[in-house]
Amino acid sequence: MSFFSKAAKFFFSGLLLTSSLSAQLGGEITGDPAQRAGMAGAGMASAGSIFDASTNPAVLGLQMRGNRRTIGEFAGRLFWAPVSIETLSGASYRPDGVIGGGPWIGMADRLDSRWAWSLSLMPTGGGAANYNRMTELNVATADLNDPLSGPAPHSVEMSTNMMQLALAPSLAWTPRKNLSFGIGASVRYTKLDFLSATDIALEDLKGDASSLGFDTYGDLLDFLFNIQGGRGIDAIQADIAAEAEAAFHSFAHLGVLWSPMRDSRISAWYRSPSSSKSLDGQVTVDVEADIGLINALFDIENSGSFELSIPDVSFPQQLGFALQQDMNKHFRINADMVWTDWSKAFDGWTAKVAGSDEGLGVMVGPGGTEVDMGLRWEDTFRVSLGAEYDFFESQHLRDGNGHLRTLQHGVPWTFRTGIGVSNNPMQGSPTLGLTPYNTLHIGAGFSRWDWKGGDLHVGVVSALPEPWESGEHAVLTDLDFDTYRQSHWSVVLGYQTNF
């Protein structure tokens, strides 16, 4: 695999992290509003939150029914993904874990008796993770005076920082009191920063070295390495720092919410593939740790920057279906089924990598290349089942005959729990934090209605720990066959009030 291919795959692994964190933080199982988080993703038919309109805009019609005042909703989320890594040699690492969160802000109002609108600003992804990984350098030896003393150890900072924000307007039409149709949109902005390491093959160092008596710098290094004990070195190790701002991607949303009977609801929605935009970034490569002494002899800089671009990127469409059924006046069940078309979204992507004639680019050469990312994701299918129980306030009175009667009025508390199951669509090498599609999810939560002038909602959901072996790593051979074990916890507090 060429240096350009490795750099591109490194960059793209960050974009995958964006998608996976997005799945965990916004719009999927651990990223739902407090009410649905408490049921592990179920509850779209309950129309309990303004933020649900960012998935199915039709929920506004029944949520705003009979409410003439503006509704405001605020939520705060904390996301934590503890992870452990075990290498093929048996070494263990416990990174800080992916942490993240942020505020959600939403507002909704009626235009008239049949039309309602909402606008939400929310983080659809976000997090940070960091740990130091010990690698073995390819060229530098533990004893500089002994080329056979074995590879020198090198500490590499592995870091990921990501932020993704979405603005989601929605509009709903309610032709009948039990039926609502909705249309909406979502526009997302993403910022990414990474630190890692990669291998650079000598054959990819194609810069002109004729002034030193060799065709390319790769030929020069190959000659020097053969002198240095003939260890069969065919690549050097480089530290990498990358940053990117992804272009705005926009989605369209359609939905319907129908209550065929007073005790049941049916919800269905569709999210289109996003608009096609290029994803552009830059990678800085530094080889000082591995060949800094050699570069000093030839007055070559140890670092250089390279531009990366992945054109015509579109993120996946989604189709969902949800049911709610009242079992009695206290107890309700919810079931949600969601299909996401990852297989078409992550297929046929090509990364364009520009060369450079500055810094380390002198060794690499000015030529660019195009790299097939080799993405072959599978679709995801998620099923969530949740339950809600209302506790009524009771008042005991005696009737005219002196018999004790119990009157129930008001619903001050609702308690929830749920379980969800999802398959993992991702194929290939992981990036720190990139095992988000754990199979089993559990959730719990509650609502305190009419509390201090509004409604308080609390939800906790966890993706249970699940091990995963990475196989051969596309970026750095030191990461081959690492075993990851990661779980996910999300806590969200929501408050809804009328203005």
pLDDT digits (tens, 9 = 90+) for 387-441: 999 987 655 455 555 554 544 556 689 999 999 988 877 655 454 444 445 688 8
Quick one: residue 7, left, alpha or beta (phi over 0 = left, psi -120 to 50 = alpha)? alpha
Question: What pLDDT score was predicted for residue 21?
Answer: 44
Calculate the CA dihedral of residues 470, 287, 194, 371 and round it to 10 degrees: -70
Q: Which is more confidently placed, 470 or 450?
A: 450
Question: What pLDDT score was predicted for residue 67?
Answer: 60
Contact 106, 118 (CB under 8 A): yes
Please give the backbone phi and psi of residue 326, each rounded to the nearest 5 degrees, phi first.
Answer: -80, 125
Compute the distance between CA of residue 263 and CA of residue 17 in angstroms, rounded to an integer. Answer: 41
Average pLDDT over residues 229-254: 83
Compute the distance between CA of residue 433 and CA of residue 13 in angstroms, rounded to an integer. Answer: 11
Please give the backbone phi and psi of residue 227, each rounded to the nearest 5 degrees, phi first.
Answer: -65, -35
> Distances in Å between the alpha carbon of 53 and those of 168, 189, 334?
8, 19, 17
Position 22 pLDDT exceeds 80: no
Note the pLDDT tens digit of each residue in 188-212.
887 878 788 888 888 888 888 998 8
Question: What pLDDT score was predicted for residue 409?
Answer: 55
Q: What DSSP assignment string belongs to 434-481?
A: -----SEEEEEEEEEEEETTEEEEEEEEEEEEEEEE--S-SS-GGGTT
Position 145 pLDDT exceeds 90: no
Q: Which of 230, 262, 315 is nearest to 15 (CA)?
A: 315
Split at pLDDT 50, 70, 90, the class of 374 is low
Could you tell me how many residues make up the chain? Answer: 499
Q: Which is more confidently placed, 48 or 15?
A: 48
What's the whole-number average pLDDT of the chain?
80
Q: What DSSP assignment string belongs to 310-378?
A: EEEE-PPPEEEEEEEEESSSSEEEEEEEEEE-HHHHTBS-EEEE---SSTTHHHH-S--EEEE---B--
Question: What pLDDT score was predicted for residue 435?
Answer: 45
Question: What pLDDT score was predicted for residue 414?
Answer: 94
Contact 39, 49 (CB under 8 A): no
Average pLDDT over residues 180-185: 97
Question: What pLDDT score was predicted for residue 388?
Answer: 97
Split at pLDDT 50, 70, 90, the class of 118 is very high
Domain spanning 3-273+313-342+375-498: CATH 3.40.50.10420:
no
Q: Which of 413, 408, 407, 416 is nearest to 451 (CA)?
A: 413
Note the pLDDT tens digit of each residue in 208-239.
899 889 999 899 998 888 775 567 788 889 89
Split at pLDDT 50, 70, 90, the class of 12 is low
Note the pLDDT tens digit of each residue in 448-457.
988 777 899 9
**Of the listed ranges 99-108, 328-337, 360-369, the one predicted with least confidence:** 360-369
Question: What pLDDT score was predicted for residue 169?
Answer: 97
Q: Which is more confidently placed, 152 or 477?
A: 152
13-22, 154-163, 269-278 — which one is most confidently predicted on average?
269-278
Please state, for a pLDDT cut of 70, what percent of the chain lies above it. Answer: 79
